[in-house]
Amino acid sequence: MITGSLQKKKGPYYAVLNLYDDYGKRKPKWIPTGYTIKGNKKKAEEKLEQFKMEYEQKSKIQLRDPNIYEKYRNILFCDYMLEWLEKQKGKVEKTTYIGYEQVIKGRLYKYFKAKKIKLIDLKPKHIQDFFDLLFAEGLSGNTIKHYRANISKALKSAVINEIIDSNLATKLEPIKVKEYTADYYTQDELLQLMES
């Protein structure tokens, strides 16, 4: 995690980030926040946090295999899901694959294709919004759990292959599933069924 602090220098606030070279030697980076000292401390602190996050992301990207990053930096999430699906052939039972295919090539692909969200730009909110839409369309919690399972498996693969840093599906709120209530025949209904 990149650390840093605010420093005052000839009028404006500067964000000073604690960066390190390849030999572990500290190389502080001074970045102007654009805010003067008087009455702008909170805004400058927010800018510092923004810079820290940006440089943290840059450092993670630099650690990745450049060939992998180059291949996937512009891929849409929906297209990555199709690629992951293709790799499941032969790894899972045919019926399982057909289930994956129905989930990915149907609503999921159409929704995310229209949104044009890249895999590397995907946020938990994007997935949650999709699930909320599925609920609004009347799909059951059990059905939506299948969507979540497929997304989670595909993102886990992306983490293993160092395309992304974390599996965003693990950061989502739990999906509520209605408990199944069995409906039994009464003795009279059973006799009537047997007579029929």
| End-to-end CA separation in angstroms for the chain | 72
Give per-residue pLDDT as tens, 160-179: 888 888 898 988 888 776 55
Report if residue 22 sits inside a domain. Answer: yes
Neighbours of 138 (CB within 10 A): 7
51 with 127, same domain: the answer is: no
Domain enclosing residue 59, as ranges: 4-63
pTM of this structure: 0.60
Report if residue 54 sits inside a domain. Answer: yes
Q: Of 82 and 44, which is predicted with more confidence?
A: 82
165 with 78, same domain: the answer is: yes
166 with 76, same domain: the answer is: yes
108 with 16, same domain: the answer is: no
161 with 113, same domain: the answer is: yes
97 with 16, same domain: the answer is: no
Report if residue 183 sits inside a domain. Answer: no
Give the pLDDT score at 184: 63
CA distances for 154 relative to 40, 80, 185, angstroms: 44, 8, 43
What's the CATH code of the domain at 85? 1.10.150.130
Q: Of 19 and 108, which is predicted with more confidence?
A: 108
Long-range Cβ contacts of 12-15 (<8 Å, 24+ apart): 12/36, 12/37, 13/37, 13/40, 13/41, 13/44, 13/47, 15/44, 15/47, 15/48, 15/51, 15/52
Report if residue 55 sits inside a domain. Answer: yes
33 with 12, same domain: the answer is: yes
Is residue 147 pLDDT above 80, yes or no?
Answer: yes
Report if residue 195 sits inside a domain. Answer: no
Instruction: Please say whether the beta carbons of 113 and 126 come within 8 A.
Output: no
Give the pLDDT score at 163: 86
Give the pLDDT score at 180: 45
Q: What mean pLDDT is predicted for residues 78-99?
A: 94
80 with 99, same domain: the answer is: yes
User: What is the maximum alpha-carbon separation in the chain?
Assistant: 97
Is residue 65 pLDDT above 80, yes or no?
Answer: no
Q: What mean pLDDT is predicted for residues 142-156?
A: 94
153 with 119, same domain: the answer is: yes
Give the pLDDT score at 145: 93
Q: List Cβ neighbours of 61 (8 Å cut-off, separation of 6 or more).
A: 69
Instruction: Please say whether the beta carbons of 28 and 17 come within 8 A.
Output: yes
Give the pLDDT score at 37: 86
Give per-residue pLDDT as tens, 176-187: 765 545 566 677
Report if residue 90 sits inside a domain. Answer: yes
Give the pLDDT score at 179: 54
85 with 45, same domain: the answer is: no
75 with 58, same domain: the answer is: no
Binned at pLDDT 50, 70 and 90, residue 56 comes out as confident
- Provide the number of structural domains found in the chain: 2
Binned at pLDDT 50, 70 and 90, residue 148 comes out as very high
Q: List Cβ neighbours of 74 (8 Å cut-off, separation of 6 or more).
A: 118
Mean pLDDT of the residues in the chain: 85
Q: What mean pLDDT is predicted for residues 80-101?
A: 94
Secondary structure of the chain: what % helix, strand, coil (to 5)? 55, 15, 30
Give the pLDDT score at 122: 93
Instruction: Please say whether the beta carbons of 103 and 146 come within 8 A.
Output: yes
56 with 73, same domain: the answer is: no
